[in-house]
Amino acid sequence: MAREFARVGVVGLGTMGAGIVEVFAKGGIEVVAVEVTEAAAAHGREQIESSTARAVSRGKLAEEDRAALLERVRVTTDMSELGDVALVVEAVPERLELKSEVFAELDKVCAADTIFASNTSSLSITELSVRTQRPSKVVGMHFFNPAPVQPLVELVRTVVTEPDVVDDVRALAERLGKSPVVCGDRAGFIANQLLFTYLNQAVGMFESHYAGREDLDAAMKFGCGYPMGPLALMDLIGLDTAYEILEEMYRQSRNQRHAPAPILKQMITAGLLGRKTGRGFYTYAEPGSSQVVADALTPPPPGSDDATLRPISRVGVVGTGTMATGIAEVFAKAGYDVVVRGRSESKGEGAVAAVRKSLEKAVVKGKLTEDARDETLARITTTVDFSGLAECDIVVEAIAEDLEVKQAAFSALDEVCKPGTILATTTSSLPVVECAAATSRPADVVGMHFFNPAAVMKLVEIVSPITTAPDVTATVRDLCARIKKAPVLCGDRAGFIVNALLFPYLNDSVAMLDAHYATVDDIDSAMKNGCGLPMGPFALLDVVGLDVSLAIERSLYQEFRVPGFAPTPLLEHLVTAGRLGRKTGHGFRDYR
């Protein structure tokens, strides 16, 4: 039987503490809330009253339920009033010594069987627990902000926490309508450890001028469906807060990927802390505002800069697979004449049939008229010879992800295409410069990485090796905007932007599992419910395919030689065993 928690305590009534009090009281539990001064206690009470009033105004809480909720809350400055509570949640500022003092004081006034929980987001629960006479009854209970809204609660066990304590607190969190996950005592726990490692890497990309802030953020929003880009999220969190979390993670792990990017310290010193100061990676209308305003780093819209653009009216597509047919559809729908090159007439006919099928679906759904469908199909012709692409202004290669095959195609295009034709590759992982080297016109070669399905996904990564002419990059960026895609610019490195940020995060998730730190379900739940991601890492890995993921991770490690990028043994073993994800029915989960 799970322990009953009829009366609990909360120490600290800042934003998080007040939110936690509201959660408990809404769940029918009496709460004793403690602050250090009468003024702080009154302010905390006001926060609870304001939050619940907003809930009433939005129709999420009845007025009588609000009155009952507030009746269950008692605010005091006397710590001794916690003597008869079954659980105390500490929610004071994120300083180890301050939290330790609170736990030592609680140890004196609370009953021997009272459970102590800390809402810390990064500090060691073990270090806090040893400041008490009851380390086996100390646990982390990390709510996410705003606590009344966010479903995730991370429950952090130490090596001496009693299993019954974890089980009882987990049952309590579920009773409160939360989605609890259990993990070991490691800096950052699940969500922050995975999230901030990814954010730190994105900051490093910005600092090295590999990609601009807007491009980094757009890449992860449109390429992965994330609710916010990494740099916009850093501004929301606060660069000082992010720095402190990364510092604590690095202190405990000594993992170089947790060491804060140097630019963070510089920005913090300059007072650029994010939204709360009105400037961070972006500039805001005023401190605390979410409205971004243009500044010196804001890039001009596609086609509006001073670069000369090459005229584009006829587009070639090499390939007849899923990606190639999607790209052909995108260009034809945008009004461009398209020539699809297939290895045989039947392959070309199949490509047109695939486009027709896609357009028919759009007609059925009311997203496209029959006239528009017919006009789009009329713009597509096919050829079996590379010479059929001779008059194209740009040719997009979308064939097998094999460097030798791609180089042969680029060599053939080099021979037949007119001077000034842009040659683009849709590779997702191979070096674009290697394709350029197969031609006598490397300045005309660029990466144009569409995401699958090309007809639906908005993102296109424009990859410019050192050989690409500036007007080629500018022309392709403008072209992407004309076909209603979201172009982002980056250099020619393995993974470009999206894969270079996404797959190390996925690999870190597998390493967590391999270390028995947390379960598949808890890690997935933490990232979905705590970070608002559309899928948890293991669900995504099973969709992508473990073999595909392994190949990408190997290419990233080969390029950067960062130890944390090396594929985890568990992933290697699953691929060897044929557990490749949904396509085989078995991956991190079973689907049959």
- Please confirm, yes or no, whether 43 is among the known catalytic residues: no
DSSP state of 274: B
Find the catalytic residue in 142, 258, 449, 586. 142
Work out the mean pLDDT of the chain and round it to a whole number: 95
- CA 423/CA 432 separation, integer angstroms: 11
Q: Are strands 152-156 and 138-143 parallel, antiparallel or unpaired?
A: antiparallel
Please write the tens of the pLDDT for every residue from 324-382.
999 999 999 999 999 999 999 999 999 999 999 999 999 999 999 999 999 999 999 99
- Please confirm, yes or no, whether 46 is among the known catalytic residues: no
User: How high is the pLDDT of residue 1?
Assistant: 66
Is the pLDDT at 67 greater than 80? The verdict is yes
Q: Which residues are registered as beta bridge partners of 143?
A: 153
Of all helices (H) and strands (E), which one includes residue 512? helix 498-514
pLDDT over 90, % of the chain: 95
User: How high is the pLDDT of residue 4?
Assistant: 87
CB 338 within 8 A of CB 380: yes
- Nearest in space to 426 (alpha carbons), one of 377, 378, 351, 480: 480
Q: Which residues are registered as beta bridge partners of 283?
A: 279, 293
Find the catalytic residue in 35, 90, 154, 329. 154
CB 143 within 8 A of CB 521: no
User: How high is the pLDDT of residue 187?
Assistant: 85
Please, what is the Cα angle at 203 between 201 and 208, to 5 degrees?
95
Compute φ and ψ for 159, nearest 5 degrees.
-70, -15
Please write the tens of the pLDDT for every residue from 388-397.
999 999 999 9
CB 486 within 8 A of CB 479: no
Take residue 268 and report the two structure tokens written for it.
């913090």
Mean pLDDT of 227-255: 94
Please, what is the Cα angle at 243 between 220 and 212, to 5 degrees?
35
CB 450 within 8 A of CB 315: no
Mean pLDDT of 422-450: 96
Q: Are strands 459-463 and 445-450 parallel, antiparallel or unpaired?
A: antiparallel
Find the catalytic residue in 129, 192, 507, 509. 192
Please write the tens of the pLDDT for every residue from 151-169.
999 999 999 999 999 999 9
- Please confirm, yes or no, whether 192 is among the known catalytic residues: yes
- Nearest in space to 479 (alpha carbons), one of 390, 393, 377: 393
Is the pLDDT at 233 greater than 90? The verdict is yes
First to last CA, the chain: 34
Q: Where are the alpha helices (DSSP H) in 335-445?
A: 345-364, 370-378, 403-416, 432-436
- Please confirm, yes or no, whether 121 is among the known catalytic residues: yes
- CA 183/CA 526 separation, integer angstroms: 10
Mean pLDDT of 442-467: 96
Sign of CA dihedral 505, 507, 513, 515: negative
> 43: pLDDT confidence band, cut at 50, 70 and 90?
very high
Find the catalytic residue in 121, 122, 358, 507. 121
Is the pLDDT at 306 greater than 80? The verdict is no
